[in-house]
Structure 1
């Protein structure tokens, strides 16, 4: 599998970062969620799976750039306002 860098909201290449694969999937690089209460909220976690926290702004920015028509403009940020940073 090969990956192509899509973007990050971090400086100096630190995580979280998103990649697109040659298999048509997205790979998330980031800090693993370790909070026991948060992990208890996950469903159907298979062996080898984990959770990574990603800022909503990173997802909306990448969707705006990658999806036809930039349809992510209407996706609200964590404070409820639409975001599509350039």
Structure 2
């Protein structure tokens, strides 16, 4: 599996999360983020039992957009 790190949260105090990756073989994104465990929020999602959800800050969207435009991000 060829994962490529696209970027991590520039405001992370620990420097490790959240992080966005691209699986170049599958053409999919992997997102490392904070576990969502608030039942009220989870009930608002149409989330099948075999799926999960993580949360990332809005500022992380820049890493998806750069990749979609073909801009290389060396991190």
Shorter-chain TM-score tier:
0.7 to 0.9
Higher relative contact order (CA 8 A, sep 6+): 2
Question: Matches of 1:51 and 1:69 in 2, distance apart?
Answer: 26
Question: Matches of 1:4 and 1:65 in 2, distance apart?
Answer: 13
**Which structure carries more helix by proportion?**
1
Structure 1 stretches of at least 4 aligned residues deviating more than 6 Å after TM superposition: none
Aligned-partner SS, 1:66: helix
Number of aligned positions between the proteins: 68
**Which structure carries more strand by proportion?**
2
Question: Matches of 1:15 and 1:53 in 2, distance apart?
Answer: 11
Larger Rg belongs to: 1
Q: CA RMSD in A?
A: 2.0
User: CA shift at 1:51, angstroms?
Assistant: 1.1
Q: Which runs of 5+ in 2 are unaligned?
A: none
Aligned match of 1:29: 32
